[in-house]
Amino acid sequence: MKEAPRRVQSLAIVERYDQAVAYLYPIIQTMPRRHGRYRDKLLDALLAVPGLIYVAAKSNQVSRVYQVDAALAELRWLLRFAAAPAQKLITPHQHEVASVHLAEVGRMVGAWQKNRR
């Protein structure tokens, strides 16, 4: 009986994360070509999270949930770097909106961690 709530929550996390991806993906794709290596790193980080969520949901290990949290932290750092005045790859407003999306996912992951302890 415990299996169903975990799957429902993980699906809800993925759905919420899909909203963040839908917002960020077009922005990242329009970054200048000279920042191609950074853009690829950001895309890799963005697209790696759903896989980590599914692995965490399928395994019964709290350490996998912590990996999801770490991946989100890396993504937040990459976005802060993009919004920094020296780079200006995304606007402060875009960074704020993306941060709100990721904060919602982060809260869900935090609750998941708390339930798994």
For the chain of 117 residues, list the mean pLDDT of each consecutive stretch of 10: 54 93 96 94 97 91 95 97 95 97 96 87
CATH of domain 3-116: 1.20.1440.60
Domain ranges within the chain, ordered by starting residue: 3-116
In whole angstroms, what is the distance from residue 68 CA to residue 108 CA? 11
pLDDT for residue 116 = 81
pLDDT for residue 8 = 57
> Which residues, including other chains, have CB under 8 Å from residue 80's CB and lie 6 or more apart?
95
Q: How many residues does the chain have?
A: 117
In whole angstroms, what is the distance from residue 72 CA to residue 34 CA? 25
pLDDT for residue 1 = 43
pLDDT for residue 80 = 97
pLDDT for residue 10 = 56
pLDDT for residue 9 = 57
65-103 in b/e burial notation, b at 16+ Cβ within 10 A? bebbbebbeebbebbeebbeeeeebbeeebbebbbebbe
pLDDT for residue 117 = 74
pLDDT for residue 4 = 52
